Amino acid sequence: MTDTQTDHSATDTQQATRAAAERALLAKVPTGLLVDGTWQPAADGATFPVVDPSTGETLLEIADATPEDGVRALDAAAAAQQAWATTPPRQRAEVLRKAFDLLQERRADFALLMTLEMGKPLAEANGEVTYGGEFLRWFSEEAVRIGGSYGTNPEGSGRAIVTHKPVGPTFLITPWNFPLAMATRKIAPALAAGCTAVVKPAELTPLTTLLFADLLLEAGVPAGVVNVVPTSHAGALSEPIISDPRLRKLSFTGSTPVGRTLLAQAAQNVLRTSMELGGNAPFVVFEDADLDLAVEGALAAKFRNTGQACTAANRFIVQESVAEEFARRLTERVEAMTVGRGTEDGVAIGPLIDQRAVDKAHRLVTDALDRGATLRTGGQPVDGPGTFYAPTVITDVQPGSDLLRDEIFGPVLAIRTFATEDEAVAAANDTEYGLVGYAFTEDPARGQRLMERLETGMLGLNTGIVSNASAPFGGVKQSGLGREGGGEGLHEYLETMYTLTPDPFGRTKGAQR
């Protein structure tokens, strides 16, 4: 046998081994709806396919929940609410900690499953297991720290007691791009606070949530506390759940237009809402920045998750004196990126989630080039199976270009320049969105000014990644309402109650001693 034949044989063996491992993993994934602690088919028996975006092939067919199924899930959540709310905080904490431990034991399964259904490189999927798991650990620790306050009112006539209690049944709608972390970021605080949940995972990537829900049952989550209803008819399923007076909380991560629609529906029953919506993150590089650090930050902020993140840097705003060197270094790094299926060794850029995402990225690139921008590398869909787009760098982007206004959600890095700090701040704030921003400068005073001047809910100052389970995640303006993560994230699932009792010493006006 020649060396070439040996190499081909080894490659064929590796591919066969990988394919067998993928089939074994998919066999573990529940394909039904989780309602009241049992896996069951949809009411009408319908299913829908979940597709691998790197190949276009169907991974699994799963139950397609009807509106009737959604209401049954809410029935289960409402029935379980009182018992879960009165479960001791330590017990709720231990369930979450058990879920964290099980997730660490099975991290390889969850990472691979995310790569299969969403496409991200396996190394990044492993990172998401770490990040998503931290919400379970963080909120397991916070569950036992739900406090309150007790004090004398200013008049001295009584005692003010402030307590916190669960809001009640919740409806949690998760996006497709981080199928584990977005589920844990919502489910963990809900359970820690004592709330039950109906979870609707994204149609494109429901498998990770289904496997995670099975893990929660094993961790000790009682029947009805977490219910999962994947569907290909999101609006039809959501409407009767949101309009039901038993529901008390809605949490959604997704696009701003859908968020507006859900807010309007939630207003009818005055629901508590958390909305993590679209972004258009500026990435500002000043001439005094550490360019090595800025390049690394740019690569993380732009190309993580193949650019498919609400926190992805969308507009690179670079001071004129360093713009060319910054672009040169970035282009060199981007040209070296390997595009391919996320399971393959060395892949940095996986597929976009579907053909619509490819078409959008290419439309935005074409518009910018038509307006006078310069293409440094990429700029085209990748031929072959799957929905891939070449990692792209564009410079000289002109005002009015669509990609300065629209969220790209793809591996396209677009650079425009500025002359002064005031100009940079104006450009960064020139958007209806305000989720996150990034800024690189070695001037501490400038950093402080940017903290006060940038209209954004989060800021990465000399870093390209801001997300952390212990920190409040969320935006301003059209990027949403409320916060996820940190202590603030727990209080999104708690009602505040104030009680006044008379002065126990009888010193109120007119009181008898």
DSSP 176-211: SSSTTHHHHHHHHHHHHHT--EEEE--TTS-HHHHH
Q: Which of 124, 276, 407, 484 is catalytic?
A: 276
Tell me how far apart the alpha carbons of residues 41 and 62 are, in angstroms, rounded to a whole number. Answer: 9
Identify whether the C-beta of residue 35 lies closer than 8 Å to the C-beta of residue 227: yes
CA nearest to 443, candidates 412, 421, 423, 459:
421
Strands 392-395, 374-377: pairing kind: antiparallel
Q: Which residue has the tokens 């500026």?
A: 282
Token pair recorded at residue 324: 């060319």
Residue labelled with tokens 């800025």: 294
Question: Is 361:303 a contact under the CB 8 Å cutoff?
Answer: no
For 477, the enclosing helix (H) or strand (E) is strand 476-477
Nearest-angstrom CA–CA distance, 251 and 186: 7
Torsion angle (degrees, nearest 10) of CA 27, 32, 34, 38: -80
Task: Give the max Cα distance, the chain.
Answer: 105
Rg (CA), the chain: 25
**Which sign, positive or negative, has the C-alpha torsion 312, 316, 318, 323?**
positive
Q: Cβ contacts of residue 477 below 8 Å, gap of 6+?
A: 431, 432, 433, 434, 455
User: What does the H/E/C string look like for 324-392?
Assistant: HHHHHHHHHHHHCCCECCCCCCCCCECCCCCHHHHHHHHHHHHHHHHCCCEEEECCCECCCCCCCECCE
In 3D space, the residue among 327, 330, 320 whose CA is nearest the CA of residue 287 turns out to be 320
The answer to whether residue 488 is catalytic is no
313-319 and 476-477 strand pairing: unpaired
Beta-bridged to residue 38, according to DSSP, are 35
Angle of helix 181-193 relative to helix 89-105, nearest 10 degrees, comes to: 160
Measured distance CA(228)–CA(70) in Å, rounded: 9
Q: Which residues belong to the active site?
A: 276
